[in-house]
Amino acid sequence: MGRTSRKKRSTLANRAIIASAALILGGGGLAAVNVYASAGEGSSASSHGRNWQPVRQASTIDCPEVVNEIPEVPDPARPEVDRELAAMDTQITDAYREFADRRDRMARDPQLARNAVLDPLEARRAASIDRIATAIGRTAQRPEGLGSLAPCSLRADDEGGGEGGDEANGPSDEPTSEPTNDGSGEDGNGDGNGNGDGDDQDQDQDQDQDQGGNGPEDSDFVDIQSVRPDVGTPARLRGASRGTFTTECGRNQNGKFNPDNVIAAPGVGNGAHHMHDYVGNQATDAFSGDDDLAAGDTTCRNQGDRSTYYWPVLRLQNGTAENDADADGGGRDQNTGEIQTPSQVTLKFVGNPTGKVTAMPRFLRIITGDAKAFTNGDANANASWSCTGFEDRQLKDKYPICPEGSQVVRSFAFQSCWDGRNTDSANHRTHVAFAQDDGRCPGGFRAIPQLVQRIVYDVPPGPGFAVDSFPEQLHKPVTDHGDFINVFDDRLMRKVVSCINDGRKCR
């Protein structure tokens, strides 16, 4: 495979850049500050006798995550609550599209941003939140205070939720006083309608087309060889469960994709607004119930494993249209480029460093990572990016630039502790937990086999790829995530537990 070609970014030395400040909604106001910067002029450069203080331009929409604030949802209310939560994701997607289409105009006219995007979005979110509270209130106490989560804001790329530049993750990008113009759609001129002229404007438009207009940008990548080794594991105690069970389910060579999320948005088509790879259960879509999954075909070699394993696809950002270029989850949701089939997928279940594991219940659902970590913050982020030959160096909020001969690796170590009662929870998280730093499960949780998922890609070295994401998440690496539904039959699950607890390596 040849190296992906990319346009070089324009520099401030070649032309003046006119951009706008970040648009931040705080309290009841929206503020904007115009910016002027050109070659040979510092941050206090004057234009017509006025001084301007450059800051970042707004790049995305930031909305509070309602699902994290919802109490336990009664079973009768769950379908309606799930539908409304999915509808709120669609509301953000639609609002982001409106914002992206008129980014430059909104930068010059803050009231347009409020009138055309923020106020209508708040109204739609408020109505959905009210319906959620009403649905819960029919059979339980109506939750109060959710309405405060309706307002959203516009905010700049460098206010994202990722860690962004601790030593283990490589060098950080220091905030700059001049707005950059890298054609990624995350600055004032990067939406294909920039204020540049001549070759520079064409160049920005070309790169914008390559990347779908909303990322990633070059600063989302780091040379893996510059990253400090940082992998550590808890010491194993005498009673540790040291065995493994590996299930072989292929690499999605048959190309099963859809933009659904049967865990987070059951019964809602295009609930993810990005495309997923699937291996294992072939009956999985938004409308699959437990009976459908139990009866579904599987790509797993051991037919006792009909589990569902899925994750966002990875695409080359090379300007080549995929079959979904005009489809939900693809081009309509600003996910563009050639979908890459992994060169290797490993699905391994491992034990606990402090004791034995117990069987996980059938139809247990686990989401690891956070598809909205860029705006939510990294509290639930669990992305790990690396390169073959360098896997002692793991990145959380950067994509790796791998040297020639090395392949990109993304991995997920799923939650390994279960509450002993529930196969799912209202926010799809609280029924499972990660082990503590010493390897023990939190109080009230028991250790179960831990799914460790490793996906390898043979892509050209350097920037030029990205995972699918919700449009407003700008394809940030910190948003990577994985989903799992356990559909092992009882006999095979007993074998998994026995192999792990007895210290054997099984398949």
Domain boundary among the residues 121, 139, 159 is at 159
d(CA 364, CA 495): 17
Give the model's pLDDT for residue 214.
86
- Domain check: are 132 and 264 in the same one? no
Work out the widest C-alpha separation in the chain, in whole angstroms: 79
Query: What are phi and psi for residue 298, nearest 5 degrees?
Result: -135, 150
Mean of pLDDT over the chain: 82
- Percentage of the residues of the chain whose pLDDT score is greater than 90: 71
Q: What is the dihedral of CA 308, 311, 316, 321, to 10 degrees?
A: 60
Q: With contact defined as beta carbons under 8 Å apart, do 420 and 446 qualify?
A: yes
- Domain check: are 308 and 409 in the same one? yes
Q: Is the pLDDT of residue 358 over 90?
A: yes
Does 198 reside within a domain? no
For the ranges 88-102, 165-179, 324-338, the lowest mean pLDDT is seen at 165-179
- Domain check: are 428 and 325 in the same one? yes
Q: With contact defined as beta carbons under 8 Å apart, do 143 and 194 qualify?
A: no
d(CA 104, CA 475): 21
Does 191 reside within a domain? no
pLDDT greater at residue 113 or residue 207: 113
Our count of domains for the chain comes to 2
Does 368 reside within a domain? yes
- Domain check: are 302 and 416 in the same one? yes
- Domain check: are 406 and 262 in the same one? yes
Is 0.75 topped by the overall pTM? yes
Q: Please count the residues of the chain.
A: 507
pLDDT band at 107 (very low <50, low <70, confident <90, very high): confident
- Domain check: are 131 and 42 in the same one? yes
Query: What are phi and psi for residue 218, nearest 5 degrees?
Result: -60, -30
Residue of 494, 229, 262, 465 whose CA lies nearest to 360? 494
d(CA 176, CA 53): 11
Q: Counting Cβ atoms within 10 Å, is residue 1 exposed (0-12), middle (13-18) or buried (19+)? A: exposed
- Domain check: are 328 and 405 in the same one? yes
Is residue 291 helix, strand or coil?
helix
Question: Distance between the two ends of the chain, CA-based, in angstroms?
Answer: 32
Q: With contact defined as beta carbons under 8 Å apart, do 171 and 401 qualify?
A: no
- Domain check: are 234 and 146 in the same one? no
Q: Which domain holds residue 482?
A: 222-506
What is the secondary structure of 49-116 as a DSSP string?
A: TEE----PPEEEEE---GGGG--PPPGGGHHHHHHHHHHHHHHHHHHHHHHHHTHHHHHH-HHHHIII
pLDDT in tens, 114-165: 999 999 999 999 999 999 999 999 999 999 999 999 999 998 866 544 433 3
Q: With contact defined as beta carbons under 8 Å apart, do 373 and 477 qualify?
A: no
Residue of 338, 318, 339, 325 whose CA lies nearest to 276? 339
pLDDT in tens, 421-449: 999 999 999 999 999 999 999 999 999 99
d(CA 390, CA 342): 18
Neighbour count for residue 102 (Cβ, 10 Å): 17
Domain boundary among the residues 126, 159, 192 is at 159
pLDDT in tens, 361-372: 999 999 999 999
For the ranges 67-76, 207-216, 225-234, 364-373, the lowest mean pLDDT is seen at 207-216
DSSP at 414: -
Q: Is the pLDDT of residue 108 over 90?
A: no
pLDDT in tens, 235-244: 778 889 999 9
Give the model's pLDDT for residue 213.
62
For the ranges 233-237, 250-254, 271-275, 309-313, the lowest mean pLDDT is seen at 233-237
